[in-house]
Amino acid sequence: MSIGVLTSGGDAPGMNAAIRAVTKVAASKSLTVWGIRDGFDGLIDGNLQPLTRQIGKKGALSPIPEVEDSGGHGGTMLGSARSERFYTRESRIVAAEVFKDYSLQGLIVIGGNGSMAGAHVLAAEHDIPVVGIPASIDNDIGLTREALGVDTALNTIVDACDKISDTARSHHRAFIVEVMGRNSGYLAMAAAVATAADAVLLPEQGSGPDEIVDSVVRELKRSFEGARDKARVLILKAEGVSIATETLVDRVRAELGPESVFEVRATILGHLVRGGNPSFRDRLLAGRFAFTAVSALLEGHTDVMTGWNLQGLGTQTSDSWIKLFPITAVLEETEALLDGSSAVTMDRVRRMEAIQGVLAI
């Protein structure tokens, strides 16, 4: 029996760890593994490479050295892409034919929302057994407490903010630091707590540009003026907030005026947040997701995603923390996360509102 594995969408630390874990678990169950390069584009183009090899006299399967070596590295050894071609039915037909040409009996898709949507379409249109593994630093995938890459991204943000705070204190400056996350403010919110930031700006708060500028100016004046006289001010901003970071800083400077005794600067961490070797937790999650995903294929599950969920939801697996969820349910909850109607999003906003006063102390 042979299975395929691909990584799709934005890269995330932990993808390589998941590829390694999928390959090792599959090999232990005598499953040949094919790596599909460059996401769904690779499936359309037939760009596959073997990830297992036979060793010893009995022909036991083992991962190829490249897989073994990549597990602790960031990015993805298979490459990744957001495939425009996969949106067309004709390309998906070609992809399904390639799947059959390689005699694959299952496919594991590692990626975010778009990747899960692609996996669902393959299962629904072509009856291909598919299991998804959530990987996205944005933590905007429904029904999983965390996706691969989130913990590493947060560690990267915290480390960067600690360094920024060092120089900010030395020069009595304020920094507005933008972090990735698309339309999800999770990274900014979690990092704000971990770095003792003075404030955090989230897209879920729904604030307009003028309101954001006013709130930042108030916080800066409160922090730097009077008896408090803070050495530094650190404000974290999610990239999905309604005003660009450079514009925000320019407007804040204009409001403060040329006589202001402190400087305000912007730092956009950008793709720095996506890179780096995966943390312990991302490697652990990769292994647990992978074990569950391979087992799910062997048990006949399809059109499902593995998720870290402790709420009693989903189909129970041998791992008490990792459940299986229909991808359709995952996509519905993901949409609710982003439009604010999810209980998870509402809880995040409530928590952030509750601690805003604490951050500013």
Sign of CA dihedral 166, 167, 172, 176: negative
Q: 10 Å Cβ neighbour count for 117? A: 20
Q: List, in order, residues 6 or more apart from 282 with CB less than 8 Å away.
A: 13, 14, 17, 148, 149, 150, 151, 152
Active-site hit among 38, 41, 138, 140? 138
- Residue 194 CA, chain-centre distance (Å), reads 18
Largest CA distance in the chain: 80
DSSP notation for 112-169:
SHHHHHHHHHHHHHH---EEEEEB-TT---TT-S--BTHHHHHHHHHHHHHHHHHHHH
Rg for the chain, CA atoms, rounded: 23
Helices (H), 37-140: 39-45, 65-70, 89-101, 113-126
Q: 10 Å Cβ neighbour count for 327? A: 27
Strands 104-111 and 130-134: parallel
138 is catalytic: yes
SS3 call for 22 = helix
Q: Which two tokens stand for residue 260?
A: 């202001």
Match 């399967």 to its residue by tokens.
61
CA 110/CA 133 separation, integer angstroms: 5
Q: Catalytic residue positions?
A: 138
